[in-house]
């Protein structure tokens, strides 16, 4: 924790720099802002600041610099890697009040938003203009655009449309040194200078605080078709997924649910799977030509049929589509119905290694005596291996199992994180994936943006 005299002095200055009611020290509130969806405990800040402008963010940095206090940027607290936990106390800088959609420009296929805009709200707004913002983390109803930029978030549709970075054209960013900069561009094309936008997207709130985002939009596909296939075993499902991908068909989503995931869905999910299902795959295709979309689903059905345990079920209307997606969307939450605690990973492996990785996660779970649910965006090799457990005293063993899963992914040519970010959760494994020299270069980059090391310390890289 920080020096208490420094905190008191900073508090006075913050109350002078922002409206005093937006500088919060209420204990319960601080605890709330010390949590996220990572299950990595509570790490409360000592002060919470609710910023409303880039200029205010700059003032917060000035105070933090004078008193050498950490500043942790916070979006919607839905992150899964502990990226917003205030490990060393200090100031939590919430961007939730910067929640305006500044403009949607249908003629340019772009939009500008503040970081606190909820992703799902933004998607609905652009759809009213016949437009489409594809990045779709499953937490879209609650997560924010700023958080998505920080983590370079993805989701089921990333298979066809890519992740957040592919849609961010430009950013307004406040650096810890107090500079307010505009990086990137407002145009669809543009190659001037280093691509600092790409560097900032996915930098997990360690290089600067994003206060405005310009994104690229697409025309909204007019037709979407969703189908579900049940398999006897997860191995059969993984094989079918590989066959679809190898055939050259790229649907917009290809999601896998293993038997443990299906068990978790059984109680409360709107869609009911057959009792003997050992795995399921959700497939979605989209496009402007209805027959073309239907033909793609038929083609996929033909490709998976040999491994499937029954007919391919195609959603007949919007309500059925919604039921299927709700079942998938709340899986992470529903797993707690099986065991109250879990550590959830988001490894990604080359597509050809999906069956092997699925097998490996189960072996590691069995070896350590834990149930592992494996599900997720199998189409792009991004699997959520969730180790389920009951008691806190089991956590060290769970962490060992998780470490083995992460290393196995890297050994297969994959990565420790496909969409949730490194944060606190995976910082000890970054070097295993990237090597000493690359991690050292990234530390030097961080020092260039944040010479005093006050911005979100302890994230991405382990303490030296």
| Residue 415 binds ligand MLT, judged by CB under 6 A | no
**Minimum gap (Å) between residue 70 Cβ and ligand MLT:** 27
Residues 137/152, Cβ–Cβ less than 8 Å? no
Among 332, 361, 417, 456, interactor with ligand MLT by CB under 6 A: 332
Q: Closer CB to ligand MLT, residue 139 or residue 214?
A: 139
Subset of 113-142 contacting ligand MLT (CB under 6 A): 138
Q: Closer CB to ligand MLT, residue 195 or residue 326?
A: 326
Per-residue contact string for residues 246-285; x = within reach of ligand MLT by CB under 6 A: ----------------------------------------
Q: Closer CB to ligand MLT, residue 90 or residue 376?
A: 376
Only one residue has tokens 């994230």, namely 459
H or E element, residue 238: helix 234-246
Q: Closer CB to ligand MLT, residue 91 or residue 409?
A: 409
Q: Closer CB to ligand MLT, residue 304 or residue 347?
A: 347
**Minimum gap (Å) between residue 376 Cβ and ligand MLT:** 5
Residues 454/431, Cβ–Cβ less than 8 Å? no
**Minimum gap (Å) between residue 396 Cβ and ligand MLT:** 21
**Rounded (10°) CA dihedral 310, 314, 319, 325:** 70
SS3 of 367, please? helix
Closest CA to 421 of 205, 217, 273, 214: 205
The encoded tokens of residue 164 equal 């957040």
**Minimum gap (Å) between residue 371 Cβ and ligand MLT:** 15
Please list the alpha-helical segments (H only) found in 306-411: 318-329, 331-334, 354-368, 395-411
Quote the CA–CA distance of 159 and 136 in Å, as a whole number: 11
Q: Closer CB to ligand MLT, residue 333 or residue 441?
A: 333
Among 148, 197, 334, 344, interactor with ligand MLT by CB under 6 A: 344
Size of the site for ligand MLT (CB under 6 A): 8
Among 205, 251, 355, 376, interactor with ligand MLT by CB under 6 A: 376
Q: Closer CB to ligand MLT, residue 171 or residue 409?
A: 409
Quote the CA–CA distance of 317 and 463 in Å, as a whole number: 52
Among 43, 58, 59, 80, interactor with ligand MLT by CB under 6 A: 80
Residues 327/264, Cβ–Cβ less than 8 Å? no
Residues 350/413, Cβ–Cβ less than 8 Å? yes
**Minimum gap (Å) between residue 451 Cβ and ligand MLT:** 34
Per-residue contact string for residues 186-225; x = within reach of ligand MLT by CB under 6 A: ----------------------------------------
Quote the CA–CA distance of 448 and 463 in Å, as a whole number: 17
Q: At 359, phi and psi to the nearest 5?
A: -60, -40
Q: Closer CB to ligand MLT, residue 131 or residue 283?
A: 283
Residues 15/57, Cβ–Cβ less than 8 Å? no
Quote the CA–CA distance of 336 and 66 in Å, as a whole number: 44
| Residue 384 binds ligand MLT, judged by CB under 6 A | yes
Q: Closer CB to ligand MLT, residue 122 or residue 375?
A: 375
List C-alpha distances in Å: 376 to 322, 346, 410.
17, 8, 18
Binding site for ligand MLT (CB under 6 A): 80, 138, 331-332, 344, 376, 384, 419
């Amino acid at each position: 924790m920080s020096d208490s005299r420094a905190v008191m002095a900073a508090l006075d200055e913050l109350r002078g720099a922002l409206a005093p009611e937006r500088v919060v020290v209420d204990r319960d509130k601080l605890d709330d802002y010390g949590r996220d969806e990572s299950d990595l405990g509570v790490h409360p800040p000592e002060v919470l600041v609710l910023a409303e402008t880039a200029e205010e963010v700059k003032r917060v940095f000035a105070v933090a610099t004078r008193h050498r206090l950490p500043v942790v940027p916070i979006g919607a607290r839905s992150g899964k890697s502990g990226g917003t936990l205030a490990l060393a106390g200090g100031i939590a800088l919430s961007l939730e009040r910067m929640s305006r959609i500044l403009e949607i420009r249908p003629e340019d296929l772009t939009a500008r938003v503040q970081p606190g805009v909820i992703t799902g709200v933004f998607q609905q707004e652009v759809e009213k203009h016949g437009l489409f913002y594809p990045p779709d983390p499953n937490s879209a109803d609650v997560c924010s655009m700023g958080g998505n930029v920080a983590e370079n978030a993805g989701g089921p549709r990333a298979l066809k449309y890519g992740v957040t970075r592919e849609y961010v054209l430009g950013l307004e960013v406040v650096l810890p040194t107090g500079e307010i900069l505009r990086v990137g561009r407002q145009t669809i094309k543009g190659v001037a200078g280093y691509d600092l936008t790409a560097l900032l997207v996915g930098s997990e709130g360690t290089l600067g605080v994003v206060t405005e985002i310009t994104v690229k939009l697409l025309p909204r596909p007019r037709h979407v078709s969703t189908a579900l296939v049940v398999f006897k075993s997860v191995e059969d499902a993984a094989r079918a997924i590989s066959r679809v991908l190898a055939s050259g068909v790229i649907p917009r989503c290809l999601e896998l649910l293993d038997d443990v995931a299906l068990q978790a869905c059984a109680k409360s999910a709107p869609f009911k799977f057959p009792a003997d299902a050992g795995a399921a795959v959700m497939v979605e295709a989209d496009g402007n030509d209805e027959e073309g979309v239907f033909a793609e689903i038929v083609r996929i059905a033909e490709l998976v049929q040999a491994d499937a345990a029954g007919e391919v079920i195609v959603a007949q209307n919007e309500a059925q589509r919604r039921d299927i997606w709700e079942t998938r969307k709340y899986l992470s939450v529903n797993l707690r119905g099986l065991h109250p605690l879990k550590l959830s990973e988001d490894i990604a492996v080359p597509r050809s290694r999906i069956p092997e990785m699925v097998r490996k996660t189960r072996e590691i779970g069995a070896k350590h005596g834990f149930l592992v649910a494996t599900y997720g965006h199998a189409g792009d090799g991004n699997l959520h291996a969730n180790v389920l457990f009951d008691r806190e005293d089991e956590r060290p063993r769970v962490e060992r199992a998780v470490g083995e899963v992460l290393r196995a992914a890297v050994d297969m040519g994959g990565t420790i994180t496909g969409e949730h970010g490194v944060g606190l959760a995976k910082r000890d494994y970054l070097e295993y994936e990237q090597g000493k020299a690359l991690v050292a270069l990234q530390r030097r980059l961080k020092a260039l943006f944040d010479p005093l090391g006050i911005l979100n310390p302890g994230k991405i890289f382990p303490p030296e």
